């Protein structure tokens, strides 16, 4: 709140300009938390909250492993090579704004 020189509250006039709101939340849920055998399949679910995503890309160790549709989607990573992976998702809206799940 701001006051003018007379101590009165200044009028606030809302505008449609300003900083674009950032995407709120992207959740990537790996449906199993146990180690898997080589060439197994890993199922995961990606969900975007309060953001109009047009696509959600899934990455493992920085390499894109797949893409799912907007909203809440399931993804299966098939024939996973043995190793350790940092898996995360990146959601993109129609204007090109992006947000990612925890890396």
Question: Do 42 and 75 touch, CB atoms closer than 8 A?
Answer: no
The mean pLDDT value of the chain amounts to: 77
Phi-psi region of 24 (alpha: psi -120 to 50; beta: other; left: phi over 0): alpha
Q: Which fold would CATH assign to domain 25-100?
A: Immunoglobulin-like (2.60.40)
Is the pLDDT at 89 greater than 60, yes or no? yes
CA distance 22 to 99: 8
Of the two residues 17 and 62, the one the predictor is more confident about is 62
Q: How far is residue 58 from each of residues 2, 29, 43, 95, measured CA to CA in Å?
A: 45, 11, 12, 19
């Amino acid at each position: 709140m701001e006051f003018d020189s007379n101590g009165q509250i200044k009028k606030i006039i809302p505008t449609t300009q300003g900083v674009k709101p950032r995407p709120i939340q992207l959740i990537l849920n790996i449906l199993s938390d146990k180690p898997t055998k080589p060439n197994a399949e890993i199922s995961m679910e990606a969900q975007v909250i309060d953001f109009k995503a047009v696509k959600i890309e899934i990455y493992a160790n920085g390499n894109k492993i797949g893409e799912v549709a907007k909203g809440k989607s399931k993804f299966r990573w098939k024939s996973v090579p043995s190793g350790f992976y940092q898996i995360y998702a990146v959601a993109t809206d129609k204007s090109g704004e992006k947000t990612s799940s925890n890396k």
